[in-house]
Amino acid sequence: MDQPLRIIIAKPGLDGHDRGAKVVARALRDAGHEVIYTGLRRTPEQIIETVRDEDATLLGLSSLSGAHGHLFPRICETLREHDMGDVIVFGGGIIPEDDWPPLFEAGVRALFGPGTTSEEMVEFIATAVKRDDAGVGHGAGWHWNQSA
Amino acid sequence: MMRVWGTAQDGIGTNRREGETLDERFDAASSGDRRALARLLSSIENGELKVEEPQRKDSDWNILALTGPPGVGKSCLLDRMLHEWVDHGLHIAVLAVDPSSPRSGGALLGDRVRMRIVDDAERKESVYVRSVATRKTSGSVPLVVREMAFCLLHVGWDKVVIETVGAGQSEVRCAAVADRIVLVEGPARGDGVQAEKAGLLELADAVIVNKSDLDGAQRHADELRESLHLGHEDAPDVLLVSALYGTGVAEASSMLLTLEQSTRAGRARWRERLLSHHERQLLEHPKFDTLLSSIEEGLMSFDDAYAQLRNGNE
C-alpha cells in the first residue's frame, strides 16, 4: 500500500456536536488513513493553520449548526489565499441539499449527510486524490455528489 | 548549505504538489514558510529524503523525548512547558507521536488538541506542532522521527520535543532518538516495588510526577526518589507538578532547559539506536510485505523469510 493520507477533520464555528466528526475520523482511520481531529469550535484560521502545519492532503469539515453556508466557503477562500489550493475539501453534517450548489461552487468536493456509509467516504477520497482537479484551488468543477 | 539530500528518485514533486525543488523548499522552510517545512517533514516520513545530524552549537540538548505511561498528562504538561519556553525566547518544535493501527495502518492523531498554545496569537509563531504516526514500527517512537527532528533543527528551530506514544515500563526505544529523556509519571502508580523495577526509569534524565493536585502524587515521587538514589550516585531529579493548575511547571521547565545527560544510559542509548536501525532496515526492505504474506499463507518458512530480509540489506 502507498503511504497513508493525512486528513484533518475539523469542527468550525460554534457547534458543540462532534459525535459525527469522531465517527468519521474513526472510519477513515480504519480505512488506513492518518486522521487529525481538531476538537470543537475552531476558527477558519485555526483550521487552516492545522492543515498547513500537519501537511494534510484532505480537509473534512463538519457542521450541524447551520453555519456551513458562511464557514465552508470562507475556509475554501482562505486556503486559496494561503497558497494551499491543492488541499481537497469535503463536508458533512446537517446540510440541506438546497445549500449544496454554492458550497460546490466554493470548491467543496463532496457533502455527506446522515446515512452516508463509511465505504462511500473512503471511495470519494480514493477517487479525489487521483484527480488533478480536486484541490480547492480549482474552484467550482468536479464534485462527488450527483444529485445537486 | 544544509546537509540534506534526496534519494534516487526525487519524489517531491510527485505527490500532487506543484513542482518545487528540494532546495527551494528547504530555503522556504528556513525562512519561516511552514507549508514548505511541513512538506519536507512528510518527505522524510515517507522515506523520500534523508537528513544528516546538524552540527551542535553547544552541549545543551537539542532533542528531548517526553515519555511515560498513557494518561499521565504528557501533552497537557508539554503545553504548559511550551508556554514557559516560548516566553523564555525559544522557538520550539514538537513531534507528537501516536500509534498506528497494526491492522489498518491508519491512525488517529490526538495530541494536537491538547496543545492550546497553537491557538495563542502571541506565542503560536514560536511553536510548531506536528503529529506523527508510528506507522509500521514497533515501540513508542519510530526512528524516522530523529531525522524529522534534524530537519527542524536545520531550518532554525532551537529545540525539538518528541512526545512519545504512551509507553510501558520496558519501552526504552525513545533513547534511540533523543539527547535527553524525561519520564512523566502520575500519582498512585502502584506500590513502592513498582519504582524498583527495571526499565524506562533507569534511562530517564529527569522524572516528573504530574497531577500533584491528586492524592498519592507526593508519595509516588518520594518512592521514585528513594528508589533512584539507592543504586546510583548520578540519580535523576524527581519533580512534582500539576499540569492542570500549573503548580511547579515554571520550575520544571527551567530545570529541563539545562538538563544534563545522565551518565548511566550511554551504552543503552547506542543499543536502542542499533536495534531501531535494524528494525527500520527490515521494514524498508522492498519485499517486506511480500515475505510477510508468504509466511502468513504458509508458502515460506519463517527462517527463510527472515534470511531473505537480512540478505537483502547486505
CB nearest B35 (choices: A34, A83, A135): A83
Distance CA B46, CA B84 (A): 33
- pLDDT at residue B197, as a whole number: 63
Residue B25, C-alpha cell as written in the block:
523548499
Going from the N-terminus, what domains does chain A have, and what CATH number goes with each?
Answer: 6-138 (3.40.50.280)
Q: Please indicate whether residue B200 or residue A89 has the higher confidence score (pLDDT).
A: A89
Asked if A72 contacts A106 with a C-beta cutoff of 8 angstroms, the reply is yes
pLDDT band at B11, cuts 50/70/90?
very low
pLDDT band at B8, cuts 50/70/90?
very low
Identity of the residue numbered B226: E
Length of chain A: 148
Are A32 and B104 in contact (CB < 8 Å)?
yes
**Mean pLDDT estimate for chain B:** 85
Closest CA to A136 of A92, A105, A93: A105
- The rounded percent of chain B whose pLDDT value lies above 70 is 86
- pLDDT at residue B9, as a whole number: 39
Are B112 and A38 in contact (CB < 8 Å)?
yes
- The rounded percent of chain B whose pLDDT value lies above 90 is 44
Answer yes or no: is pLDDT of B17 > 60: no
Q: Give every CB contact of residue B177 below 8 A, 6+ residues apart in sequence.
A: B63, B65, B141, B143, B145, B146, B149, B162, B276
Answer yes or no: is pLDDT of A79 > 90: yes
Distance CA B283, CA B312 (A): 11
Answer yes or no: is pLDDT of B128 > 50: yes
Q: Which of A80-84, B281-285, B309-313 has the lowest mean pLDDT?
A: B309-313
Distance CA B1, CA B151 (A): 13
Answer yes or no: is pLDDT of B135 > 80: yes
pLDDT mean over B202-226: 90
Q: Which of B13-22, B88-97, B141-150, B242-251 has the lowest mean pLDDT?
A: B13-22
Q: Please indicate whether residue B243 or residue B171 has the higher confidence score (pLDDT).
A: B243
- pLDDT at residue B312, as a whole number: 65
Answer yes or no: is pLDDT of B314 > 60: no
Distance CA B168, CA B179 (A): 20
pLDDT mean over B68-72: 89
Q: Which of A44-58, B71-85, B129-143, B263-277 has the lowest mean pLDDT?
A: B263-277
Q: Please indicate whether residue B137 or residue B156 has the higher confidence score (pLDDT).
A: B156
Residue B179, C-alpha cell as written in the block:
539527547
Q: Please indicate whether residue B91 or residue B220 has the higher confidence score (pLDDT).
A: B91
pLDDT band at B7, cuts 50/70/90?
very low
If you search the block for the grid coordinates 462532534, which residue do you land on? A18
- pLDDT at residue B15, as a whole number: 40
CA distances from A132 to A86, B9, B25, B276 (A): 9, 21, 21, 38
pTM: 0.88
- pLDDT at residue B60, as a whole number: 82
Distance CA A101, CA A98 (A): 7
CB nearest A36 (choices: B17, B112, B119): B112
pLDDT mean over B252-277: 84
Interface test with A, best of B46, B49, B109, B135 (most A CBs within 10 A): B109
pLDDT mean over B186-202: 69
pLDDT band at B200, cuts 50/70/90?
confident
ipTM of the complex: 0.91
CB pairs under 8 A between A and B: 82
Q: Give every CB contact of residue B189 below 8 A, 6+ residues apart in sequence.
A: B69, B220
Q: Which residues of A touch B106 (CB under 8 A)?
A: 4, 28-35
Which burial class, exposed, middle or buried, applies to A67 when counting CB atoms under 10 A from its CB (0-12, 13-18, 19+)? middle
pLDDT mean over A11-31: 89
Going from the N-terminus, what domains does chain B have, and what CATH number goes with each?
Answer: 1-52 (no CATH), 57-265 (3.40.50.300), 269-311 (no CATH)
Are B106 and A39 in contact (CB < 8 Å)?
no
Min distance A81 CA to chain B CA atoms (Å): 13
- pLDDT at residue B229, as a whole number: 80
